[in-house]
Amino acid sequence: MTAAAAKTDDVGVIMAGIGAAARDAAAPMAQASTAAKNKALTVAAETVVASTEQILAANALDLEAAKTKGLSAAMTDRLVLTVDRIAAMANGLVEIAALDDPVGAVIAEWDRPNGLHISRVRVPLGVIGVIYESRPNVTADAGALCLKSGNPAILRGGSESFHSSRAIFQALQAGVAAAGLPAGALQLIPTRDRDAVGAMLAMSEVIDVIIPRGGRSLIERVQKDSRVPVFAHLEGVCHVYVHEDADKDMARDIVVNAKMRRTGVCGAAETLLVDRSVRDSHLPMILDALADAGCAVRGDAETMAIDSRATQAGEDDWRAEYLDAVMAVRVVDGLDQAIDHVNTFGSHHTDAIVTADSAAAETFLAKVDSAIVLHNASTQYADGGEFGMGAEIGISTGRLHARGPVGVEQLTTFKYVIHGTGQTRP
């Protein structure tokens, strides 16, 4: 047997075992009591805190390897764990325990004229695969959301966070065991072998949905190769459109917040559209505020004519997800052109209009084809927590099943439960 064949066999054997354990855990997890799931989460939180030293030691190994490998500063920052970050992670587990249990909730019920009583009842989605990159805390967040929603989870962390993810995972496992839940409820792939990702993407008999968390190349690869349905957002090319009836101060505050509050989140605005009729009244003040906040501007010809600090924007800029202190700015002819721009160049994630004209707002909200559309509010509200949904595993720009923030409810499906008294169909 060649070394390559032995390696592939090992991953195949590992993944088959993980798949079987996850499948076996699906029925008991679907029936698990809220109390048991919450106990698993609270014990996991306590164990995470109690294991702070071990988690930091594991993280030090990963950081050492990252240095050797020359990982970028941004990637390394995501990888770093501190006592505070570990405490925040534990707190996240407690918050997920405090969420309402979605499983068993009756979404709708009605009676039929023949006396049948029909209800739609939430049940877990099945087995969920999560593939993520360098943030080790995703191990806790994603694992806990799957557990709360009754879904066995197969987690595949990035190789650069291998030791950190394992240490966190061990704390979660302690919670699962303490609650008497099956070990197959939560599994972390114990190898860095990249073939494991390919194996996950092909496990359509075992895994019901895959959620990738990471950069564009990861998500594109998953979307391209997966035989399993995917909940993903490819990117957040979000817009703020300042309509001719926008209040000037409100427009400025929303634009600066949408762009600069946190530039690295998917709900950060990337492009500003401004009506020509308020170009001279509103735009200079907004550009000054962006400059004061440290934001560079790539503008069209009219923007450049107003502000010499702006550099020339090309079509690439209209499609860019900068995730940085850079904003593309375009002057538009009015509502129709703004809507057209958003639908053509955007990513169907989150887009906002600022206007005092409610008819214009309704047109924008109806015609912009995005998961989240806002009137007079910042795009940075694109977040499950801000929606009141509790923690989220991500924001989906797909149209099927889960659109927008993916929280515990979005990790469920439903069944129809029908009660009769002996009805037979005529």
Which chain residues interact with its own copies by CB under 8 A? Answer: 27, 30-31, 110, 112, 116, 118, 123, 125-126, 208-209, 229, 247, 250, 253-254, 256-258, 261, 343, 361, 365-367, 369-378, 380-381, 386-388, 399-401, 403-404, 413-425
Which pairing describes strands 395-396 and 404-405: parallel, antiparallel, or unpaired? antiparallel
Token digits of residue 305: 């004519």
**Neighbouring residues of 385: CB distance < 8 A, sequence distance ≥ 6:** 391, 392
Q: Which is nearer to its own copies, 187 or 370 (CB)?
A: 370
**Residues in a beta bridge with 92:** none
Residue 113 Cβ vs its own copies, minimum distance, rounded to whole Å: 9
Rg (CA), the chain: 24
Q: Which is nearer to its own copies, 93 or 201 (CB)?
A: 201
Residue 27 Cβ vs its own copies, minimum distance, rounded to whole Å: 7
Sequence length of the chain is 426
| Number of other residues whose CB lies within 10 A of the CB of residue 55 | 26
Residue 93 Cβ vs its own copies, minimum distance, rounded to whole Å: 24
What distance, in Å, lies between the first and last C-alpha atoms of the chain? 64
Q: Yes or no: say if 225 and 201 are a contact pair by the CB < 8 Å rule.
A: yes
Q: Which is nearer to its own copies, 217 or 421 (CB)?
A: 421
Alpha-carbon span 218 to 204, nearest angstrom: 19
Residue 297 Cβ vs its own copies, minimum distance, rounded to whole Å: 19
Calculate helix-pair angle for 138-148, 34-50, nearest 10 degrees: 160
Token digits of residue 179: 């609650």
Is residue 241 exposed (0-12), middle (13-18) or buried (19+ Cβ within 10 Å)?
buried
Residue 307 Cβ vs its own copies, minimum distance, rounded to whole Å: 22
Q: Which is nearer to its own copies, 41 or 240 (CB)?
A: 240
Residue 274 Cβ vs its own copies, minimum distance, rounded to whole Å: 17
Which pairing describes strands 395-396 and 326-332: parallel, antiparallel, or unpaired? unpaired
Q: Which is nearer to its own copies, 69 or 112 (CB)?
A: 112
Residue 336 Cβ vs its own copies, minimum distance, rounded to whole Å: 12
Residue 375 Cβ vs its own copies, minimum distance, rounded to whole Å: 5
Q: Which of 248, 219, 253, 250 is nearest to 236 (CA)?
A: 219
Which pairing describes strands 269-275 and 186-188: parallel, antiparallel, or unpaired? unpaired
Q: Which is nearer to its own copies, 80 or 414 (CB)?
A: 414
Residue 320 gets which letter from DSSP?
Answer: -
User: 51 vs 57, 118, 279, 394, CA distance in Å?
Assistant: 10, 48, 56, 27
Q: Which is nearer to its own copies, 198 or 229 (CB)?
A: 229
Three-class secondary structure of residue 170 per DSSP? helix
Q: Which is nearer to its own copies, 221 or 261 (CB)?
A: 261
